[in-house]
Amino acid sequence: MTTQDELKQQAAVAAVERVESGMVVGLGTGSTTQFALERLADLIKIGKLKRIVGIPSSLRTEKTARELGIPLTDFGAHPVIDLTIDGADEVDPDLNLIKGGGGALLREKVLAQASRCNIIIVDESKLSPRLGTKWALPVEVVPFARAVEEHFLKSIGAAVTVRAKEGKTAATDQGNILLDARFGPMQDPGRIAERLNARAGIVEHGLFIGLTHDVIVAGKDGIRHLTRSA
C-alpha cells in the first residue's frame, strides 16, 4: 500500500519535471516540498538542470537548499520568479488554498504573487469540497495586536487557537504570532480574505485566492493535474 510520504514524493517529482534550465525557481516550505528540493538538487548535481537559482520561502527552506547545493538568489537580483513549487494544507475545487501549516505563509504568498506559474503539490488527502472543512486558517499577527485580532476573528465566527511550539508561543520568521482560526467550511473564502486584509494588525493570512495555476495530486490511482477553469 502506498504511504502518504510516497504520494508526496510522486507529486514532487512530477512538479520538478516542469523546471527548465535557466529558471528562477520559488522554493516552498513543508514536508511535500522537501521532496521537490531533494529532486531538484539531484538534477542539478547530475547536470540535467543548469543555471538554476532558487528563492526560498522560509529560513528553514533556505538552510535546506544550501545544504543540498541549490544556488540561491533574492528579489533584488530577480524580482520575477519563473516557477514556484509549493505545497498546501487544503485545496478546494476552484484551486483556492489554505496554506501556513508550516508557519511560512507570508513569504510563501510573496513568492506566489511574484511567480509566472505556481505549481502546488499535494497528496489526495488535501483535496476538500470547501476550504476550512479540514484545516484551521493560519493568520499571522503582530504581537502588539494579538488580543484585538483574536477578538476580531472570534467576532466573525472563528474559534481561535494561538500557535504554540514546545509549550511556548510560536514565532514566524518575521517574529510575529500565528493565530489558527477555525471557521469550518467557508461559503465565501474570498470575502473572509477581504475582511482579514482590511485589518492593520494582521500581517497576512493563509487564504491563497486565485494564485494557483496547476495542482499536482498524487493518489492511489497515480498522478493527476488540476488546472483552473478559464
Reported as a single tens digit per residue, the pLDDT across 190-224 is 999 999 999 999 999 999 999 999 999 988 888 99
Band (1; pLDDT cuts 50, 70, 90): very low
DSSP, res 198: T
User: In Å, what is the CA distance from 60 to each residue of 139, 148, 161, 188?
Assistant: 19, 30, 24, 33
> Which pLDDT does position 105 carry in this prediction?
96
**Nearest of 121, 93, 91, 117 to residue 206 by alpha carbon:** 91
Query: Is the model's pLDDT at 4 over the cut of 90?
Result: no
Query: Is the model's pLDDT at 229 over the cut of 70?
Result: no
pLDDT digits (tens, 9 = 90+) for 5-57: 888 899 999 999 999 999 999 999 998 899 999 999 999 999 999 999 999 99
Mean pLDDT of the residues in the chain: 95
Query: Is the model's pLDDT at 121 over the cut of 70?
Result: yes
DSSP, res 81: B
Q: What is the mean pLDDT of residues 93-118?
A: 96
pLDDT digits (tens, 9 = 90+) for 69-92: 999 999 999 999 999 999 999 999
For cell 511574484, the residue is: 114
SS (H, E, C) 97-134: EECCCCCCHHHHHHHHHCECCEEEEEEHHHECCCCCCC
- With 0-12 / 13-18 / 19 or more C-beta atoms within 10 angstroms meaning exposed / middle / buried, residue 43 is middle
- pTM here is 0.93
DSSP, res 208: E
Q: For the chain, list the domains and their CATH numbers.
A: 4-128+209-227 (3.40.50.1360), 137-204 (3.30.70.260)
- Alpha-carbon distance of 209 to 94, in angstroms, equals 9
Q: Which residues are the active-site residues? A: 108
| Chain centroid offset of residue 80 CA | 18
Cβ count near 45 (within 10 Å): 12
Cβ count near 200 (within 10 Å): 9
The DSSP H or E segment spanning 108 is helix 105-113
Cβ count near 204 (within 10 Å): 21
Band (2; pLDDT cuts 50, 70, 90): low
Please answer whether residues 110 and 144 qualify as being in contact, where contact means their C-beta atoms are separated by less than 8 angstroms: no
Pairing label, strands 118-123, 83-86:
parallel
> Which pLDDT does position 221 carry in this prediction?
84
